[in-house]
Amino acid sequence: MDRRFGGARRRGWRIFGALVVVALVLFLAGATSWPDRLKGMRPVDERDELFRYVAQELAEPALCAKIPWSAESNGGFFLTPSYERSNCYAFIAGRTRNPWLCWRVRRLGTFSLLSRQTSMWSCLLDARRGLSAGIAVSPASLAGFFTQLGYDPDTLHREGITPPVVVVEDIYRQLPTRPDFLGRVERAVGTPEQATDPAASDQRTLDYLYDAAALTGREPAWCARIPDVVRLPHQAASFRDWCLFTLASNTKDPRLCDRIPLRADDSDPRLSLRAKCALQAGSRFQTGQYGPEVPDDVRIRALIALLGYEVPRARDLPPEDIQRAYARFLQELSTETDAAHAAARRRFVERALHAP
């Protein structure tokens, strides 16, 4: 009799323990952050969405914690309302197949049998399947978020993972199309026949200006201003010869080719640059137009300043250009390809975590 009573008591304790475990799991699945709840639930605002968006793009759960538990997503058709912070964790868990993040996911409200709920259970299921459903934000909102974090489009490239927003090479390539370009060149260095090299200017820098002036004004005398010994990177011909070659090709004037001398290393004149120039300039078929050679960034800026032009600031560009730059930066942050990307990502997350 006592043994039967003892066995029943043990079974009772086992059932009680199982019920406690079930109750605990159910509690954790639906637990909330009561200090935040006591402040009153509110709809998700733009700030919440931005933190969720950057968290999902970077798969960085630490940023989800910037969304308070009081932020409520309204849900939709067959979707119950949910904590925005839970949605943030659930997305990253599904994207990275990390079920451990699901312990941070909380269900809002009571169980629903007819609608999908964001909960620990739905998160575990999505993490196993690798499912995730993210959100999008407007480019203007994202740009504003970067500004709040202290980023500047003019210095964004110093993070080392994206190019400058203002590409001076593009500006330089467009200079010859300006109607006042040749006039500014002559005011800076004189006419092609009477050019005077400014004392403060680097000769190699001026050579690029002479090449641009020759192709723009179709004047071979500018090519003659380039010293014969100057060579271009990755180009066997001298800069002066190449200037004449491109000008002859653009103007379809084979007579200019006669100004290209035969060099000592031209073992076969038929393969010389002069011969190639005559063939291309004398061809009846239309060919593309050569553009001026482009120097490095430092020389470009020196030439722009010499001609009296200004390099625009990135912050003065159209908003869509700035927005694209920030979107590209965030995309680069999501791919840790090297140490520079990893360091830039750490700096971004640190700024976001300390955002007011």
- What is the per-residue pLDDT across 330-350, written as a single tens digit (0 to 9) for each? 999 998 779 999 999 999 999
Is residue 110 a part of any domain in this protein? yes
At which of 129, 155, 180 does a domain end?
129
What does the alpha-carbon distance between residue 279 and residue 275 come to, in Å, rounded to a whole number? Answer: 6
How buried is residue 146: exposed, middle or buried, by Cβ count under 10 Å (0-12/13-18/19+)?
buried
Mean pLDDT of the chain: 87
- What is the per-residue pLDDT across 246-257, written as a single tens digit (0 to 9) for each? 999 999 999 999
Check residue 236 and give its pLDDT. Answer: 83
Residue 26 pLDDT > 60: no
Contact 340, 49 (CB under 8 A): no
Is residue 186 a part of any domain in this protein? yes
Residue 272 and residue 203 share a domain: yes
What does the alpha-carbon distance between residue 62 and residue 60 come to, in Å, rounded to a whole number? Answer: 6
Residue 21 pLDDT > 70: no
Check residue 337 and give its pLDDT. Answer: 79
Residue 252 and residue 196 share a domain: yes
Residue 35 pLDDT > 60: no
Check residue 41 and give its pLDDT. Answer: 83
The total of structural domains in the chain comes to: 3
Element at 54 (helix H, strand E):
helix 46-58
Residue 186 and residue 114 share a domain: no
Confidence of residue 284 (pLDDT cuts 50, 70, 90): confident
Check residue 77 and give its pLDDT. Answer: 66
Contact 151, 336 (CB under 8 A): no
What does the alpha-carbon distance between residue 145 and residue 141 come to, in Å, rounded to a whole number? Answer: 6
Check residue 283 and give its pLDDT. Answer: 87
Residue 175 and residue 285 share a domain: yes
What does the alpha-carbon distance between residue 41 and residue 54 come to, in Å, rounded to a whole number? Answer: 23
What does the alpha-carbon distance between residue 198 and residue 206 come to, in Å, rounded to a whole number? Answer: 9
State how far the alpha carbon of 77 is from the alpha carbons of 87, 116, 218, 219, 339, in Å: 16, 9, 68, 71, 44
Is residue 12 a part of any domain in this protein? no
Instruction: Decide: helix, strand or coil at residue 272.
Output: coil
Residue 52 and residue 82 share a domain: yes
Which range (198-207, 215-224, 295-304) has the least confidence? 198-207
What does the alpha-carbon distance between residue 267 and residue 141 come to, in Å, rounded to a whole number? Answer: 64
Check residue 194 and give its pLDDT. Answer: 78
Is residue 300 a part of any domain in this protein? yes
Element at 72 (helix H, strand E):
strand 71-73
Residue 274 and residue 324 share a domain: no
Residue 308 pLDDT > 70: yes
Is residue 192 a part of any domain in this protein? yes
Check residue 44 and give its pLDDT. Answer: 93
Q: What is the DSSP string of 183-233?
A: HHHHHHH--STT----TTS-HHHHHHHHHHHHHHHT-HHHHHTS-TT-B-T
Confidence of residue 270 (pLDDT cuts 50, 70, 90): confident
pTM across the whole model: 0.71
DSSP summary character for residue 116: B
Check residue 239 and give its pLDDT. Answer: 95
Q: If we measure between CA atoms, which residue out of 111, 50, 109 comes closest to residue 83? A: 109
Contact 188, 270 (CB under 8 A): no
Residue 272 and residue 190 share a domain: yes
Residue 16 pLDDT > 70: no
* Residue-number span of the structural domain to which 82 is assigned: 35-129
Is residue 6 a part of any domain in this protein? no
Confidence of residue 185 (pLDDT cuts 50, 70, 90): very high
Residue 250 and residue 173 share a domain: yes
76 DSSP β-pair partners: 79
Check residue 196 and give its pLDDT. Answer: 74
Residue 43 and residue 153 share a domain: no
Residue 252 and residue 146 share a domain: no
Q: Between these two residues, 142 and 26, which has the higher pLDDT value?
A: 142
Q: How far is CA 270 from the centre of its chain?
A: 48
Residue 23 pLDDT > 60: no
Is residue 26 a part of any domain in this protein? no
Q: How far is CA 184 from the centre of its chain?
A: 35
Residue 285 pLDDT > 60: yes
Residue 176 and residue 229 share a domain: yes
How buried is residue 13: exposed, middle or buried, by Cβ count under 10 Å (0-12/13-18/19+)?
exposed
Residue 146 and residue 125 share a domain: no
Phi, psi of 238, rounded to the nearest 5 degrees: -70, 155
Is residue 13 a part of any domain in this protein? no
Highest mean pLDDT among 211-220, 271-280, 311-320: 211-220
**Tokens standing for 335?**
């791919």
Taking residue 311's Cβ as centre, other Cβ atoms within 10 Å add up to 13
Residue type, 246: T
Contact 204, 230 (CB under 8 A): yes
Confidence of residue 192 (pLDDT cuts 50, 70, 90): confident
Residue 7 pLDDT > 80: no
Confidence of residue 24 (pLDDT cuts 50, 70, 90): low
